[in-house]
Amino acid sequence: MKIIRGLVALAALGWITLLGAANTVPTVDISTVPLYGRSQNIHPNLMLSLSVEFPTTGAAYRGDYDENATYLGYFNSAKCYNYDSNNGWFVIATDATPDTHECSGQFSGNFMNWAASSAIDEFRLAMTGGDRVVDTTTQTVLQRAVLQSGFFRKASNFPVKSYSSPSTVTPFFNWSNVSIASCGNHIFFADRDYAGTKSR
């Protein structure tokens, strides 16, 4: 009797398995065009609703410069740059030291990211690759955000920054200190707080 019950249970299980295999779900073609756009030729879209408010245009980095930290921004943190005064932009010169991002007689990309980046620059970099002022097949030049003129030397928005070892991250080898102030899309360098002389 136990054997018959076991055989009946096994037969029922086999029957259920066969029925399940016979009732498979048919393959469905899924549209690559939104259903509502079939007759109107509407292409897929993505809209982001972001909170981009006043603080977004302030400094991305507000603390002291740490040569062991990597700062993100428009400059490559692992490179050294020369300033091309004829064109008004920075050009990659060579590699920076791997751990401390130092450069000899050139601007450190890592230091420039710390000194010049605003939060909106970081946002633009993440979303679109940056604000391009030149974008051809052979050359791309990014421009930092154009900040309000009231941001100049304003601690709440873009405070004056300073660093005591400028010869390791800038071409200003004879300065004992460098102060950096921001205005518009420009960065000002001086050997003391901007009220001093020798500004560049």
Q: Please, are residues 71 and 110 in contact by the beta-carbon 8 Å criterion? A: yes
| 19 vs 14: CA distance, rounded Å | 9
| Domain regions of the chain by residue span | 79-190
Three-point CA angle 57, 61, 62, nearest 5°: 95
* Whole-number pLDDT of residue 199: 44
Regarding pTM above 0.75, the answer is no
Q: What is the DSSP string of 23-63?
A: TPPPP-PPPSS-GGGTTTTPPP---------GGGGSBS--S
* Whole-number pLDDT of residue 75: 96
| 122 vs 58: CA distance, rounded Å | 11
pLDDT tens digits, 86-138: 999 999 999 999 999 999 999 999 999 999 998 889 988 988 899 999 999 99
* Whole-number pLDDT of residue 182: 82
The rounded mean pLDDT for the chain is: 81
Q: What is the DSSP string of 66-113?
A: -TTS---SSS-TTEEEEEETTTTEEEEEEEPPTTT---SSSEEHHHHH
* Whole-number pLDDT of residue 167: 92
Calculate the alpha carbon distances from 14 to 1, 2, 21, 29 in Å.
20, 18, 11, 32
Portion of the chain with pLDDT greater than 70, in percent:
70
pLDDT tens digits, 31-65: 776 666 566 666 666 777 777 676 777 888 989 99
| 164 vs 95: CA distance, rounded Å | 22
Q: What is the pLDDT confidence band of residue 85, given thresholds at 50, 70 and 90?
A: very high
